[in-house]
Chains A and B, each alone.
Chain A
Amino acid sequence: MTEFYQDTPLRIADYEFSSRLLVGTGKYRDFDETGDAIAASGAEVVTFAVRRTNLGQSASEPNLLDTISPDRYTLLPNTAGCHDAKEAVRTCRLARELLDGHRLVKLEVLADDSTLYPNVVETLKAAETLVKEGFDVMVYTNDDPIVALELERLGCCAVMPLGSLIGSGHGIQNPFNLQLIIERASVPVLVDAGIGTASEAARAMELGCDAVLMNSAIAHASHPVLMASAMRRAVLAGREAFLAGRMPRRSKAEPSSPLAGRITR
């Protein structure tokens, strides 16, 4: 990480990563911007969605997987848009076929379209099936520590509570719940959803998250490539601050300069 301290890698399933920022590929203007922003973010893990092909598209039409090549990035197909366990499991099987046996997936089962809040009941069902089928499941969930631990017990390789609603940019609304999850979970904990700007990504890392996953905060910035760079630095800064250990909070001031030797008395 720096000359002062060598950070341990982020370990998810059998993978090891040096970047603790994971990014999505949605909402960019075009594939060039997608590729430039992802490169600037330093992310090694990149998530994407699985959808029906447009029939009649020409074979020369650009393909997302040319921009985020599996040779360069660890791909994380997601189940965004799925509303029950069956759809999510089907989507993961398709993704595994699409990527020639790739097992790492991001499971998200959504409850309704205005909150995109996770449907925990269906998420638990899907997680159980996917783990049995040999998938490495990184799972989007709410910030309930009991649910997070249950997902871990089912065999998920990372739990990813929301900071706030997907795409809302409201940051981390319940840091206390997040801390409860971080304290109790043995698998990596990632904030997935809600990050709006760099300080919020740093905050997630300062709280002790293992990594952060984001999409809109970068893609919907006025200058996505610059924001991607800001996020890379924020995640690093937050991680270093966490490892360094913050000073205790005090209720009264404490001078930084010694009182002895002052010329005033």
Chain B
Amino acid sequence: MQIQLNGEAHRVEKEVTVAELVEALGLAERRIAVEVNEHIVPKSSHLAMRLVEGDRIEIVHAIGGG
């Protein structure tokens, strides 16, 4: 199925969880925050939350800024 990941189209397995997506992106050990359809998905829900077709995912991290 197709999702929007950080503003770009991205293909994933059907019913993939947030945790599986994060793992597949190599971000599992990193400090990130995840939003699905403009709602925060807390780390405690990454394992349980399943994505559906068309979901808009944002994965953010800290970068230098003033």
Contact = CB atoms under 8 A, between A and B. Distances in A.
B66 A51 contact: no
Interface residues of A, number: 42
Contacts of B26: 56-59
Nearest to B22: A53
B43 interface: yes
Given A26-B66, A50-B60, A59-B30, 18 more contacts: A24-B65, A24-B66, A25-B65, A26-B65, A27-B66, A48-B62, A52-B6, A52-B58, A53-B27, A53-B61, A59-B27, A63-B61, A64-B61, A65-B62, A78-B65, A81-B65, A97-B40, A98-B33
Interface of A: 23-28, 34, 47-53, 55-59, 63-65, 75, 77-78, 80-81, 90, 93-98, 100, 166-167, 213-216, 219
B29 A53 contact: no
A63 B61 CA distance: 9
Q: How many interface residues does chain B have, given as a range?
A: 20 to 34
Main secondary structure of the interface of A (DSSP, over half): mixed
A78 B66 contact: yes
A215 B62 contact: no
Interface in B21-65: 25-35, 38, 40, 42-43, 58-65
Contact of A53 (B32, B38, B65): B32
A56 B62 CA distance: 16
Given A26-B65, A51-B61, A53-B60, A94 B35 contact: yes
B35 to A, nearest CB: 6
Given A25-B64, A63-B30, A64-B64, A97 B58 contact: no
Contacts of A23: 66
A47 B62 contact: no
Contact of B65 (A47, A59, A93): A47
A97 B29 CA distance: 15
Contacts of A49: 62-65
Contacts of A26: 64-66
B60 A52 contact: yes
A53 B64 contact: no
B43 A97 contact: yes
B33 A214 contact: no
Nearest to B28: A59
B32 A64 contact: no
Contacts of A93: 35, 40
A49 B52 CA distance: 29
A264 to B, nearest CB: 58
8 contacts: A24-B65, A25-B65, A34-B64, A53-B25, A57-B26, A94-B58, A98-B61, A219-B66
Nearest to B59: A53
Interface string B7-23: 10000000000000000
B60 A94 contact: yes
B31 A48 contact: no
B25 A52 contact: no
